Amino acid sequence: MKTYNISKRISSQARLAILNAISEHDFLKKSYFFHPESSASGRRNAEKIVNKRHPSFKLVLQDFRCCAVYVAYTQTSRNVYYSMHVVIEKNGVMLESKDVRFLKKLIATC
């Protein structure tokens, strides 16, 4: 999992990762209406492609807090599932759970 330190300023790599997460989320949140691949190997390949395009990452915030962005994309024979969890944690302990609006506010303020 890639880690970006944004305690003082957002680097261009961190900004690109956040913008990628937001744009992919806006596209994949409609995945309930997607049709899964017909074969098992096609479903595994589709999962691998999406998970490679949209990796999970961590942002180191102020006061030793971290913002972890976890992505899950799976296909079954009938449905396509997608979820993105944004978790604020400190020393490995979850403090609160957020959603994509936190990332949008983070980009807008910096």
Can you spell out the DSSP letters for 10-53?
Answer: --HHHHHHHHHHHHHHHHHTTGGGPPPPSSHHHHHHHHHHHHHH
Q: Residue 69: how many CA atoms within 13 Å on its side-chain side? A: 26
Q: Which two tokens stand for residue 40?
A: 């098992």
Q: Once rounded to an integer, what is the mean pLDDT over residues 61-87?
A: 90
Tokens of 6: 């944004």
Residue 91 has pLDDT above 90, yes or no: no
Measured between its terminal Cα atoms, the distance across the chain in Å is 23
| pLDDT of residue 47 exceeding 80 | yes
Instruction: Show me where the domains of the chain are located.
Output: 2-109
Indicate whether 7 pLDDT > 90: no
